[in-house]
Amino acid sequence: MLISVPLAFEYEAISLRAEHLLATQANEAAVTNLIDALIDVAVPVEVHYQWRPQLTDAGDEMVLEATVNGQADAVVTFNRGDYGEAPTGFGIAVLSPCETLREIRT
C-alpha cells in the first residue's frame, strides 16, 4: 500500500465526515487511530510529477499520482470505472479487491 501526504489528508477528511462516523458507529479518535495505523504500514511516496487532469475526480487523481510515483503495479478499487484507461497509459492495472485476492492466492 502506497500513500502520499495529500492522499493521507484526503483519507482522514473523508473518514471523519459526520455521515461516515454515523454509518460506522465510530468516534473521531477511533478513526484517527485507524488512519494512523494505515499510514504506519503504508509505503510513503513523494509526488514529484503531477499529470493532472487524467481523471474526473480530484481524489482519484491523488491515488493515481501516488500509484505512478510509487511505481505500483495496480490500483485496487471498488470504483474501477472512475479510472477509465488513464492508469494503463502508465503501465498500471486497475483491479477490484476480489481480483487482487485471486492474484495473491495464485
Question: Domain range spanning residue 83?
Answer: 2-105
Comparing CA positions, the residue from 46, 28, 24 lying closest to residue 36 is 28
pTM: predicted TM-score of the whole model, two decimal places: 0.85
Question: What are 2-60's pLDDT values in tens digits?
Answer: 999 999 999 999 999 999 999 999 999 999 999 999 999 999 999 988 788 999 888 89
Residue type, 84: G
- Amino acid letter for position 57: D
* Per-residue pLDDT, 50: 78
Q: Which residue from 53, 77, 61 is spatially nearest to 6, judged by alpha carbons?
A: 61
- What is the structure's pLDDT at 29? 97
Asked whether residue 89 carries a pLDDT value surpassing 90, the answer given is: yes
In this prediction, residue 45 carries a pLDDT of 97
Domain count, the chain: 1
